[in-house]
Amino acid sequence: MSTQNTLHAEILGRDFAFDYSESWVGYSLFFMRVTMGWVLFQGGVTKLVTYLDADPGNNWTAAGYLANAIPAGNPLAGVFAAMAGNPLIDILNMWGLTLTGLALILGAFVRWSAFWGAVMMLFYWLAALQGGLFAGLPLEHGWVVDDHLVYAFLLFGLGAFGAGRILGLDARLEKLSIVENNRWLRLLLG
């Protein structure tokens, strides 16, 4: 049964109130969490599988992209070129995507995972910039906003709402005595 509620919030100094359905908010947060988790998990697993390929010529690495595919005019092109060939960058990329995606799918450590997922998405967004602030932060398909920025904000929202509590493991993890005795651990869950 859906319960109708009114949310009262102050955003940027202005008061807002709107009605919402608890059930539909719950369903939407659950499906957004699992869908975003799948996008990240699939991206990480495909990199991981090709990285572990028996044929060394087929191993995945971010080096080619970082050294050659950063758009001309990107204000951070030198930073990304310096990352090319660093095995730590490859490992963080593959395992970060895989584990963040898995955590979101399972609803475990959602705030922690959503934060780091958003950080990864912001790095991808920065790598896609084709110019600086005075050029309007152009991207391949427009100005300022691309899919990576949308993903970053979606991940921020999932963490802010504590979406791991909705049909996720975080609801159970928060009941463990270690979490109840160490309230700071709740910052990672939710």
- DSSP H helices, the chain, are 22-51, 63-68, 77-83, 87-106, 110-128, 147-161, 170-173, 177-181
DSSP 8-state symbol, 58: G
Residue 19 domain-assigned? no
- Mean pLDDT value across residues 163-167: 90
What whole-number distance in Å separates Cα of residue 2 and Cα of residue 22?
A: 6
Q: How many domains are contained in the chain?
A: 1
Residue 146 domain-assigned? yes
The token pair that represents 119 in the structure block? 């950080």
**pLDDT surpasses 90 at 155:** yes
What count of Cα atoms within 13 Å lies in the side-chain half-sphere of residue 36?
A: 30
Residue 11 domain-assigned? no
Residue 5 domain-assigned? no
Looking at residue 55, its amino acid is D
Query: pLDDT tens across 103-113, in order?
Result: 999 999 999 99
Which residues span the domain enclosing 129?
A: 25-187
Query: pLDDT tens across 89-108, in order?
Result: 999 999 999 999 999 999 99
